[in-house]
Structure 1
Amino acid sequence: MTTTTTLPHSYADTLLDIRLNDDGGRALTDDEMVALCSEFLNAGTDTTSTALQGIMAELVKNPDIQDKLHDEIKAIVATTGLDHISEEDVHKMPYLKAVVLEGLRRHPPGYLVLPHAPAEDMELGGYMIPKGTTVNFLVADMSMDEQAWERPMQFVPERFLPGGDGEGTDITGTREIRMMPFGAGRRICPGLNVATLHLEYFVANLVRVFQWREKEGEEVDVDGEKAEFTVVMANPLRARLVPRGIV
């Protein structure tokens, strides 16, 4: 019995097909393929889980914001009659999107983008950058710039709603760059749309089912950070979850 599929080659298939012309046309070694697959999986999962933890921590610290988000969730559930927030529902939830954008601004999982290098000598911001110099951008500092954002250290989702200082912010960098949690330009993260959808979906359903509150005796620290594969909370989130019942 044979089966057919319309799926394109997987990522592993492309690695098996690679030949390194600069190294005699050899194939990748097993160790090289394991390293690349590990990097691919971590980049697609670790970053999203890190961003999700930062957003939920902020909702624990800001119960009024969490309650406002829950009101939006209740309104959607009332119209759909479903027992969950669906993928289609999140597109109708502007405050949810604002919460996720503010989470990505305030707690970008990657503080640095991939290194770049100029192909020739060039001037940038009054500085001469020699050809081949490694250049990087501190993404987190862009999001904390007081010239670009009002009260940048505060978690304020309303800034991304009409009339806010973040209204119309383009995180792809095609119009302007005020925050770039996924990078920008030709090498922007290809998982941008999937990652934002997952964050919106998980946040909405986690808040729909539970009230997220601080655990007694354990204050949530949203400012402490440490570097691992991504920049994570120095003290991982430990919250008290209170079932909301039927919402």
Structure 2
Amino acid sequence: MAFITKITFTLLLLFAAPITSADFAHASSFDKSVKDAYAKPNDDQGNSKKETAKESANLQAGSAGLTFMDFLRVILATIFVVALLYLLLRFMNKKSKAYQKANFIENLGGASLGSNRSVQLIKVGGRMLVVGVGENIQLLKEIDDQAEYKEILENYNGRMDHLLQPADILSKLKKKMNSKKNEGSGGSSFSLRLKEQLAEMSESRKRTFKEMEKKGRDTE
């Protein structure tokens, strides 16, 4: 522990030494400039004007160069991030495909037909099955035609590859940003609709209770 504290102390001294020397040099130069100003005031005014003109010119040139470099860095960083996301998604897609092939079962898509009912297209090994899912699972059809089999697989693979395109990724990000903005602007309208629906539900419950009470009285 003592050895670590010694090392940190020496490092602090090494970092502080150039700062203190720079401050000392700046202070000495400032003292000399004050003495020269008292000795030669006219020369000082001329030199100060020249220095201000040079500094303004240097600042203008430097600002223009910095803005261009910053713009170029932003473009390069954006391209790098998009390329990295694209490669990462491609890698994840390949991993998921390899995992699905290892399991010999792959879900190619489906369509909902109501509450808890859907039709699913499943690839099991080298067979393609159309399955109905509801209260039970039922085999509807097996695709035996090789041309139809290849066409379905090509469409599925093309759709998966299209989802990983950089333009599609950017469009999805824009849609998410716009949806968040719309949700923020439409938050008040949603709360009003929710209140109206709750009020309607409470009124309908009151009506049903009243009707049940009337029926009970009539039966008595």
Which TM-score tier does this pair reach, normalised by the shorter chain? under 0.3
The TM-score with structure 2 as length reference comes to 0.23
Kindly indicate which of the two structures has a greater share of residues assigned to strand: 2
Which protein is bigger by CA-based radius of gyration? 2
